[in-house]
Chain A
Amino acid sequence: MTVKHGLQAVTVAVVAGLLGLLIWKVAHQEKGVKLGAGRTPPAPQFALSRLDAPGKLALASLRGKVVVLNFWASWCVPCKSEAPRLEAAWQRYRDKGVVIVGVDAQDFSGDAKHFVQKYELTYPNVHDGPGDVLPKYGVTGFPETYFVDRRGRLVGDRVAGEITAAKLTAGIQHALQS
């Protein structure tokens, strides 16, 4: 009888332990920043290898500037369409304290470098092969664009999918005025 109760207790303890582990995992899963409804959470930090130059680029080093964060991949079709638009915005706003940063993720770095050359992108682009930064922002697909104000806070809404020139301009203006 005692042994039977002991076995039952061990079984219950094992099941409870596994359940606890599952709950902990779900509770600690990164869901990304919450945007919209006037929220301005701090932009999650990262330091990633540059595709267009040696060394790394840290988001923290751009504090004091408005940053347009564009997540992309070379195999993503809409990313190809919006690339010239982002380059045009970079040329237009670079002297006004705006930096466009491309974050190439889940991609071969060689393909990404080829993409940067092909579309003649001169704004900084970094490589996140494993896609470690994606869950921090809650990126659900490519392309996706975020706006960071001078204080390092995310402002406005994320733009999921190919960004239009109008949305890009509106996002930059909003971040500049924040």
Chain B
Amino acid sequence: MRLAALLLLALVLAAPAAASEQHPTLGELEGEVMCPTCKTTLDQSSAPIANRIRRFITTRIAAGDTRSEIKQKLVAQFGPAILAEPSRHGFNLLAWVLPFVAIGLGAAVLAWLVWRWSRRREAASAAAADSPIDPELERRVDDELARFDA
């Protein structure tokens, strides 16, 4: 039952991605393709070459190209730097892996600090419970209580 629910969830999540791959929109691709002259994504640029690439994408969408096919055609013309996302091969793989490594390391350090802090607090509480009350302090408390009762 649980497995079926998980599979259903995976299908629900995968369906929009598959639809986007098969029927991409200009708006989606504008955020994933760079303007070669201004080094920003297409949606940030109104340079002549950005407008030309927009026209190319529109034409390819109308021709029924998938998102990957359009990107491949752009890479063939302008090289891999035309894509906003770095490729997942070779040295560029670091750009994908390093953020997760950093998050993992940060979480580990944070967990360790929290654990150490909580241990210190426990130790301090135990030490406070074990220590006898200062006689002078006890006498002063008794005096105050007696005065309060009177």
Q: Which residues of A contact B (CB under 8 A)?
A: 7, 73, 75-76, 106-109, 111, 129-132
Among B56, B79, B109, which residue has its beta carbon within 8 angstroms of that of A129? B79
Instruction: Tell me which of B52, B78, B81, B109 contacts A111 (CB under 8 A).
Output: B52
Q: Is the CB of B81 within 8 A of A130?
A: yes
Chain A residues, Cβ within 8 Å of B77: 108-109, 129
B residues contacting A by CB (< 8 A) are 36-37, 48-49, 52, 56, 77-79, 81-82, 109
Q: What total of A-B pairs shows CB separation below 8 Å? A: 27
- Set of chain B residues within 8 Å of A129, measured between Cβ atoms: 77-79
Interface residue SS majority, chain B: helix
Select A76's contact among B36, B48, B56, beta carbons within 8 Å: B48
Q: How far is the CB of B124 from chain A (nearest CB, A)?
A: 17
Bound-state Cα–Cα, A76 to B51, Å? 12
Interface of A: prevailing SS: loop
Contact A75 B79 (CB under 8 A): no
Q: Tell me the bound Cα distance from A106 to B45 in angstroms.
A: 15
Question: Do the beta carbons of B52 and A75 come within 8 Å of each other?
Answer: yes
CA distance A88 to B77 in the complex (A): 30
State which of A106, A109, A111 has its C-beta within 8 Å of the C-beta of B37: A106
Q: Nearest-CB distance from B117 to chain A (Å)?
A: 13
What's the Cα separation between A109 and B37 when bound, in Å? 16
A75 to B78, CA, bound (A): 15
Contact of A75 among B48, B81, B82, B109 (CB under 8 A): B48
Is there contact, CB below 8 Å, between A107 and B49?
yes
Return the contact of A108 from the options B37, B52, B81 (Cβ within 8 A).
B52
Chain A residue with the shortest CB-CB distance to B79: A130
CB distance from A159 to the nearest CB of B (A): 19
Residues of B within 8 A of A106 (CB): 36-37, 49, 78
Do B79 and A73 touch across chains, with their CB atoms under 8 A apart?
Answer: no
